[in-house]
Structure 1
């Protein structure tokens, strides 16, 4: 059952969108901090967008734990932003040439050796800071 996660990570690292989509059930749901996808085509579209922004994006798995139909991984994602990157809110960050390295965790539920659901977590603030972005200051206007 955990083999599907290994196949997915391999497909993500080779940027093979068809292989990525074959890892999911037709009604699979995947969530990331910045979006939710409701089928393999939307998941593939998200991956293609990330590969356009980070053409050398790779995941290195540190840990993988399985219990029943649930699988958890800890990974690091690394890549250089040489293409347009869609930000939360719909703005596009043009290529910065900056590299990012972010720890991430992912939780999968697997049915019949295909992914039924995925929850992917990473620190967006860490990624944005590595891309040279900063958040605007927040002022306390209550006083």
Structure 2
């Protein structure tokens, strides 16, 4: 399931991407509660905006650990903003998968700091 999601993101295939989520999907951001939302339609709107704002965005899972119906995975998103700035986020996403679709996630994603100058 998560491999299909990564593939859909990297192909910018919005239909395949949204098909990875249940209609009543719940996205929770424990550290940023204002980002929490519900529904596959909102997933579509969010990713349409993401693809528009970062036309070269790519996703990768750098590690994962299945735990029952949950999958704990480290993710990395890299792209270029329309203004030329670099977009780079890493973190953990915990996904609950039921009937081959994602029903819930908990996001712990943050921007990657630029390296310190020596």
TM bucket normalised to smaller: 0.7 to 0.9
How many corresponding residue pairs? 111
Q: Which residue of 1 aligns with 2:79?
A: 79
Q: Is the 1:77–1:104 contact (alpha carbons within 8 Å) kept by the matching residues of 2?
A: no
Query: Corresponding residue for 2:42?
Result: 42
Note the C-alpha offset of 1:120.
Answer: 2.0
Which of the pair is proportionally richer in strand?
2
Structure 2: distance between partners of 1:43 and 1:36: 11
Per the TM alignment, residue 64 of structure 1 is displaced from its structure 2 partner at its CA by 1.1
Partner residue, 1:104: 91
Return the TM-score normalized by structure 1. 0.70
C-alpha separation in 2, matches of 1:54 and 1:117: 25
Deviation at 1:36, TM superposition (A): 2.5
Name the residue aligned to 1:20.
Answer: 17
Q: Distance in 2 between matches of 1:46 and 1:36?
A: 12
Give ranges in structure 1 of 5+ residues lacking alignment: 83-95, 131-143
Q: Once the 2 structures are TM-superposed, how far is the Cα of residue 121 of structure 1 from its aligned partner? A: 2.0
Counterparts of 1:7 and 1:47 in 2: how far apart (Å)? 15
Which structure has the greater CA radius of gyration?
1
* Counterpart residue number, 1:119: 106
